[in-house]
Structure 1
Amino acid sequence: MLSEANATKDKFFSIIAHDLRTPFSALIGATGFLIESFDKLELRIIKDFLTDINMSSKEVFALVGNLLEWSGAQTGTLAYDPEQTDISEIIRKNILLAEQHARQKEVTITDTLKELLFADADPNMMDTVVRNLLSNAIKFTPRGGAVSVTAHESGDMIEVFVSDTGIGISEENIGKLFRIDVKLSTRGTDDEGGSGLGLILCKEFIEKNKGHIRVESRQGKGTTFHFTVPKYTEGKT
């Protein structure tokens, strides 16, 4: 228990010291250069810098969001309220939110979903899980690649698959993905940052909702994250 608490503390300070600092450094550098050289720059170059600023800002925003949710989960202040939750709707909403990042990388996103797919799960936690898995899939997929999302009923569970044609993960690193005590941070194919916290959060939230998450990957071929959550049953207590 003590070692887990120490690992949690170390992870928190590692994120503050390194993963938050990197995008902020990019923001400070880009904005400083624009201020000093604005009158001498072509519009094309200014647009390139603004694109970098936008990407770094989104990295910070996503990381802070994960950090706050993870902190709430560790301290017990994050509410767990399972209810009838349409997984298809959550997936479609997050695909729309991810489209801009995907277009910037020329990555296509497709889905194979039923119109209604109800789980007995906390909708906010499911939103966080889907958002992080989609973001990761796009991050590690090169230009011209593809991301696909499939979901269906399987017995008394809902199964969701998020697949990509990205760079893949080594067997050694697969074993480190969901561990709080291991530092695993890999840059995306467009040099996007990451702390590894998103996947740790996914595992915590899926297990909190009585489900499971696993990953299959081949280096150079792509990765599939697969998770399950209980299907909603009318009158179930």
Structure 2
Amino acid sequence: MTAKYIRLAFLLFFYSISIRSQDIDFQKLEKEVIKISDQYESDINFKKATTYFLKKKWDSTLIYTQKQLITSKNQTLKNFSHFLRGYCFDKKGIFKEAENEYNQISKHFNHYDLVDTYLGLLALEQSKFKKAISHFEVLLDSTKNELNLNNKSLIIHNLGLCYLHLKKFGKAEIFLKKSTKFQEIQKDTIKLIGCYGDMATLYYEQYKDDLAIPYFEKAYNIAKTTNNFYSRFISSRNMSVVEENRKDFEKALKYRKEAQQWKDSLNDQNRIYEVAQKEKEFAVQQKQKEVDFLQVKNELQETQRNIFLYSAVGLLIVLGGILYFYREKVKNNRIITEQKETLDELNATKDKLFSIVSHDLRSSVNSLKNSNKILVSNLESKNLIALEDLLKKNSTIVNGAYGLLDNLLNWALLQTKQQYFHIEKQRLFIIAEHVSYNYQPLLLEKELSFENTVSKKDVVYADQESLKIVLRNLLDNAIKFSKTKGSIKIYTRNTSEDYCDLVIEDTGLGMSEETRLKLLEDNVLLNKKEHEDVIGTGLGLQLCKSMIKKNNGKFDIESELGKGTKMIVSLPKIPLNG
């Protein structure tokens, strides 16, 4: 992979941080919304809209602002309603509608500086940099001077980003330096990381590595002091790229492993947040059920108090109540039955996972334990050659266990139907190049030659993330089962009008015909290993088969014992229903 390609990949990381960090403080917006809401408290729809807006319930805000626009003739409320709608559409990622709402706001709106700000941010988000510049420059030249110093600094920073995207490096440097200097004074750690990153990107884009690298290192060192996993992941990832360009692959591998660690922590944090949100929603639903039940109970009590005066009506209400509760009972029984079936499936999945964990992780941990005993004895005897071999062996065991856990997680998500699939056009060369890039250090360590001859014209329909998981597992297996100084190739074959074959070929250990046929069977996890010196459970391959099937694809293996293996993934060239 060329240095230019690495630089381009690098830019995408820091721009994403910078754009998100340049938003205007929501607290200022909250104060203005509360103020205008209190001023027009008699307008029920607008009051409800502002209440939901402060709770960040964007859909409900959109509903009541629409009602307000239909019924209201007050220009101030119309302007504020359009503004709230624009903000909500922006948060939902519907940029065209957001821009349309902002453009309907009168120039006499008291907070038009915020309108220009968010129009500029929208343009920047959509890479319309010249348009973004026009809005940000208006804000800097504004005679109202309503922007505080912090927000003004963010506008200056965004101007720098726009000029950086437009390759106007002189202007970009002026604005980015101003913004960086301000953040250094304010000591806002997260924003300062973004500023250093963008300064580094500015110089890196111009191949001024001597100026760029110190900023990369500053961003990395500051990120280490924060609890922001995303900043740590990005800064470590960027340092890996820098060291790789310097040809210091040992440091590059160190930073890459560190980046992966923070990426995993970020994923865990997101999952915890999602679980907490679901628990909160469930608690709200339970509370609502209690409220509904009490409401029904009160209605029945009121009916009983008036039964002598309205006996006929009361009888109908009783009959209606009986019918209602009968339906509720039937409905609840159905829900309980469905929940029991789901629970049984989850328990079966759990048992299967525990079985795999107890067998394979125990083997890995036991191997690591025995190896450490030998390591201690060699440490006492200062046998450095043996120590190096043992450390490499331990690293291999740990990497294998980590790969197993990653596969277990993806397999569990797939089995519990939590895996998101979005099938669309994919260029196989780009995906193969991206996945193989992450394995360069392992290929070098094992002295394996690697060749990617996938045609740049080959396009298939598949889900990108699941396809990457499949390629990672197959490439990992190819490296694992290859001998030192062997070779691995990735290429495509077009032997069918409907499918494109992606082939991962190695010159490794190969397998017997019996093993090959077993691997092609559905729901098979191998316990017996073809090669005793190589860790392998078959879980990764089972995961690959499941994901290939979800992508409407086919899977095949060509192999002979001692003569290498070809793993063949056939993916559709046209979209299929399934």
When the two structures are superposed, what TM-score results if normalisation uses the length of structure 2?
0.36
| AA aligned opposite 2:535 | G
CA distance in 1, matches of 2:505, 2:444: 17
Partner of 2:71: none
Partner of 2:474: 133
Partner of 1:197: 539
The share of aligned pairs that are identical, in percent, is: 33
* Residues 113, 151 of structure 1: 8 Å contact kept: yes
- Structure in which a larger fraction of residues adopt strand: 1
Q: Name which of structure 1's ranges 206-215 and 118-127 shifts more when overlaid on structure 2.
A: 118-127
CA offsets 1:73-113 (integer angstroms, 9 cap, x no match): 11111111223323212212222223333333333221212
**Residues 99 and 193 of structure 1, relative CA distance in 2, 3 Å threshold:** same
CA distance in 2, matches of 1:89, 1:188: 33
**Residues 7 and 185 of structure 1, relative CA distance in 2, 3 Å threshold:** farther
* Residues 525, 538 of structure 2: 8 Å contact kept: no
Partner of 2:441: 100
**Residues 108 and 230 of structure 1, relative CA distance in 2, 3 Å threshold:** same
CA distance in 1, matches of 2:388, 2:530: 23
Q: Of 88, 104, 123, which aligns to 2:429?
A: 88
CA distance in 2, matches of 1:16, 1:102: 28
| AA aligned opposite 1:136 | N
CA distance in 2, matches of 1:221, 1:40: 41
CA distance in 2, matches of 1:155, 1:59: 38
Q: Of 558, 563, 571, which aligns to 1:221?
A: 563
Partner of 1:183: 526
Deviation at 1:5, TM superposition (A): 9.4
Partner of 1:164: 506
Partner of 1:65: 406
CA offsets 1:183-221 (integer angstroms, 9 cap, x no match): 3442658x2311101111111111110110111112222
Deviation at 1:63, TM superposition (A): 0.4
Query: Which ranges of structure 2 fall in alignment gaps of 5 or more residues?
Result: 1-344
**Residues 181 and 230 of structure 1, relative CA distance in 2, 3 Å threshold:** closer
When the two structures are superposed, what TM-score results if normalisation uses the length of structure 1?
0.82
- Structure in which a larger fraction of residues adopt helix: 2
Relative contact order, higher structure (CA 8 A, sep 6+): 1
* Residues 378, 386 of structure 2: 8 Å contact kept: no
* Alignment of structure 1 residues 16-31 onto 2, 5 Å: 16-31=357-372
Partner of 1:212: 554
* Residues 149, 160 of structure 1: 8 Å contact kept: yes
Partner of 2:382: 41
CA distance in 1, matches of 2:469, 2:448: 21
Larger radius of gyration between Structure 1 and Structure 2: 2
* Residues 88, 115 of structure 1: 8 Å contact kept: yes
What's the Cα RMSD here? 2.9
Query: Which ranges of structure 1 fall in alignment gaps of 5 or more residues?
Result: none
Deviation at 1:232, TM superposition (A): 6.1
Deviation at 1:177, TM superposition (A): 0.5
CA distance in 2, matches of 1:205, 1:146: 26
* Residues 88, 151 of structure 1: 8 Å contact kept: no
